[in-house]
A and B are shown apart, each in its own frame.
Chain A
């Protein structure tokens, strides 16, 4: 079946190499760069934000606007910079595809704008654009029912092949671009040109769907890779605050350690568990205190099992006979930070759940093995929710018209007090005129 070798050496059901980068643009709320073969597609999301012009606003949902544009140098012959009919049509079908997954009812009267720039075109740009756009939306923390994966199947030399490159696209006799969401089995973009028999069409559709599934997995992995780091850093920051408080506590307690043995044993046990990063060094200094036990509550399992003793703690000066050391208190300090991790994670999950309450379909289609990805996305979602809420609040404040700060009388009064103020000078100037 796969004997047919294509112009670029691929098998008929083989995708071109795909590279996904998420969060590549600083000023955008979300962005993604997708390379698919020689395609270079950049997508940026702005919103949810105020909609202009306002008469387009919808009372029950956000207006989704997707603009697909090709750079003049993206194709062999310079493309006219004016938007072509093709670009307008693709913008429309991409908007519809994106609208089918975005939970636009969460943002009534606002706009979510998606800008897609084709930097280099190599066949199948609309599919790669849909992939990039949905990743940018995820990066912006906009709630969606699912990600979109775009890929085309087509006919080249009477063979149904997956993911046509430019040469195959131009010389081929059929092109079937689709955008697909695997977890809900939904086709949200479907176009076709060329000549397909009914059987060829069925074969091509199935081939494209299989291809989309592979792209979908890559998208999920890219999101996990992007946000795994962020989650850890975020937790680390949160922990550091608590850490300082604990440190202060420790310093008080350190004045009179109960036994030196205990301290040393404690230090040995605690040092190797570096999993929390820099925080561990400080937490080393925590001695047995009832206060901490109270605050930490239940004793938890250590995150990483310390098997070998690490660097000796500074304050462990003269070790003598090792008495029976308290069993777990060494970890308690760490546990407290670990619990902080969990607390944050929980709060994030709570936030996500709150979002999910709006979304019945989402829950229905959710698969348990996607939990990690869900978490990863949700952190952003939740934070962005908050951020955006703040933004809205700010906006409203700004919009409140500032009253005339000083009446003329007041100004005159002020003139006597302080004639050098700028306002007064301006006023005088005006009077002269």
Chain B
């Protein structure tokens, strides 16, 4: 983004001095996420969907499923493709047009959390090996940008996938696939991955930065966690740098934060699923 909304120097120094005294402008701890609100199945016409609100940041993700042919190099894997859009609806800094580098980065960071953690086992999406597999298109739309689209997008995409129901498919003897229009099945998963983004502002590290914190941050690090001890993805952003010791701090600290976020996501999922009678 070249034409970012400018933060006044006076506001910047105010935010910095707050951080120096151990506080954040919105009163949060350095390791505290903003309130997370997840609305599952927001779009019933989609196979799965979720609207995630993270503070003022709003992101919606939807899943559409079709039967297609697998990639030649992975004949025994289904396909999960994550796309993202940051349209002007979410921020005055976003522009219409083909996805820019940051939008692509957002999609790929989210894709990596899902893919590398093997959240949805790709082999479970295979109908006829090498020929017919489920292809899941997960598309993320930023609706309101108040910082940390990365974690909001990951939450939305994971929540949408976790609640996705695809038609029950039966493979007939001649190799054709018959879909049952009445019965749907959910995707198999045994854990939910989460991502934690940490911003480096001055020498301080704050998780889940809001927009203003993002703007004054020199660098950010988004880390995906499969569980408390397993990292599955990582992406450094912005032009600032990290010392090697800083990275280790952020990663270990993030692991603890990730557990809190995961607990919230899991709780919301459980509530929704019991409501739906699963």
Contact = CB atoms under 8 A, between A and B. Distances in A.
Interface of A: 56, 58, 63, 85-86, 88-89, 91-93, 96, 99-100, 176, 180-181, 184-198, 201-202, 205-206, 209
16 contacts: A88-B101, A89-B104, A89-B108, A91-B101, A93-B105, A93-B235, A100-B239, A100-B241, A185-B243, A190-B221, A190-B234, A190-B235, A190-B247, A192-B233, A192-B234, A194-B116
Interface stretch (B13-21, B25-33, B248-256, B267-275): B248-256
B104 A88 contact: yes
Contacts of B229: 197-198
B107 interface: yes
A58 B248 CA distance: 34
A190 B240 CA distance: 11
A89 B105 contact: yes
A360 B240 CA distance: 17
Contacts of A197: 229-231
Contact of A191 (B115, B234, B244): B234
Interface residues of B, number: 35
A433 to B, nearest CB: 45
A191 B235 contact: yes
Contacts of A85: 104, 107-108
A187 B231 contact: no
A113 to B, nearest CB: 15
A198 B234 contact: no
Contacts of B104: 85, 88-89, 92
Interface of B: 2, 101-102, 104-105, 107-108, 112, 115-117, 221, 223, 226, 229-244, 247-248, 251-252, 255
A191 B113 CA distance: 12
A193 B236 contact: no
A176 B105 CA distance: 17
A209 B244 contact: yes
Contacts of B108: 85-86, 89
A93 B2 CA distance: 15
Contact of B236 (A56, A184, A191): A191
Contacts of B230: 195-198
Contact of A205 (B112, B116, B244): B244
Contacts of A96: 236-239
Contacts, number: 98
A92 B240 contact: no
Contact of B243 (A63, A176, A186, A189): A186
A185 B244 CA distance: 7
Given A58-B2, A92-B102, A92-B105, A193 B247 contact: no
A187 B243 CA distance: 6
A251 B230 CA distance: 82
A91 B104 CA distance: 11
A184 B242 CA distance: 10
Contacts of A92: 101-102, 104-105
Nearest to B2: A56
Contacts of A189: 236
A186 B240 CA distance: 9
A129 to B, nearest CB: 16
A205 B231 CA distance: 13
Contacts of B236: 93, 96, 187-191
Nearest to A181: B241
A259 B97 CA distance: 87
A187 B238 contact: no
B231 A192 contact: yes
Contacts of A205: 244, 247-248
A215 to B, nearest CB: 16
Contacts of B221: 190
B82 to A, nearest CB: 10
A193 B255 contact: no
A126 B255 CA distance: 27
Contacts of A181: 241
B274 to A, nearest CB: 31
B101 A193 contact: no
A321 B131 CA distance: 103
A188 B221 CA distance: 11
